[in-house]
A and B are shown apart, each in its own frame.
Chain A
Amino acid sequence: MTAPRRPALETVFSALGDPTRRAIVERLLARGELSVGDIAAPFAISMPAVSRHLRVLEDAGLIERRVERQWRLIRARPEALAPVEAWVTKQRAHWNAALDRLEAVVAAETPKRRKS
């Protein structure tokens, strides 16, 4: 059992930057826990390729595995998306504030004129 980690934002973005891995996470979020075989089924890629994708997602904290008898089960960790959401929110706030200031600069230099 490894201790819970906070993977770097880069790691999460990088993991989600691949369409197959995004599809895996979306499917896990929608369907709950799946076996490795169920995860691989919709994709026309080899099992080793699926395993590599799963390892990347696991390193990013986006999925976790457990073994139950002969089943290897995988589920998504939606909490791993929280830092990504926070990053987006911060960027949006930054630009909104900057554009407010841009507007203020333009307004200050525009000669007062009655709009027609």
Chain B
Amino acid sequence: MSDTELRLERLIPAPPQRVFALWSEPEQLVKWWGPEGADIPAHAIDPHPGGSWRTTMRTADGKHHTVSGVYRAIEPPRRLVFTWAWENEHGARGHETEVTVTFMSAPGGTRLVLVQKEFESKESRDRHSHGWGSSFNRLVRLAG
């Protein structure tokens, strides 16, 4: 059920072990991380629980965009949880969210589910770990 704001699902045509490696091994991650036409000129990724990660993407227009966070859970080949925040040009991190990616074996490969939660802090997230997104969706509908 949609109790979160952003949820994406994909079938990736490779086994979970392989897909998990593409997410959790730095040299694999930078092969695909970032939007179309972007590359990753700089990254520092420590894929361990509590380890931090930081990637700088260079988009097709030549602009640099840095995003960083901390790994909260690394459970090969099933689940990956990390925090996420864009940095401004002075290195200050903006609004932090939490991303959970799960990898399930499925016919044809791996069913990948990505959920990004938009809580502004860990405390807030812990207090409101359910129901945020559906309320938010209702809000947006009402506002529309």
Contact = CB atoms under 8 A, between A and B. Distances in A.
A13 B135 CA distance: 12
Interface size class of B (residues with CB under 8 A): 35 or more
B22 A105 contact: yes
A110 B36 contact: no
A96 B118 CA distance: 17
Given A13-B120, A17-B132, A103 B139 contact: no
Contact of B8 (A16, A19, A95): A95
Contacts of B128: 17-19
Interface SS of A by simple majority:
helix
Interface residues of A, number: 38
Contact of A103 (B12, B35, B95, B136): B12
B131 A97 contact: no
Given A17-B124, A104-B32, A22 B135 contact: yes
17 contacts: A13-B120, A17-B132, A18-B128, A78-B143, A88-B118, A97-B35, A99-B12, A101-B31, A101-B32, A101-B34, A101-B36, A103-B12, A105-B22, A105-B31, A106-B12, A110-B13, A110-B14
Going nearest first, the 3 A-B pairs with the smallest beta carbon separation are A78-B143, A101-B32, A29-B142
Given A17-B132, A102-B19, 6 more contacts: A17-B120, A19-B128, A78-B142, A95-B114, A96-B8, A97-B36
Interface of A: 9-10, 13-14, 16-19, 22, 25-26, 29-30, 76, 78, 81, 84-85, 87-88, 91-107, 110
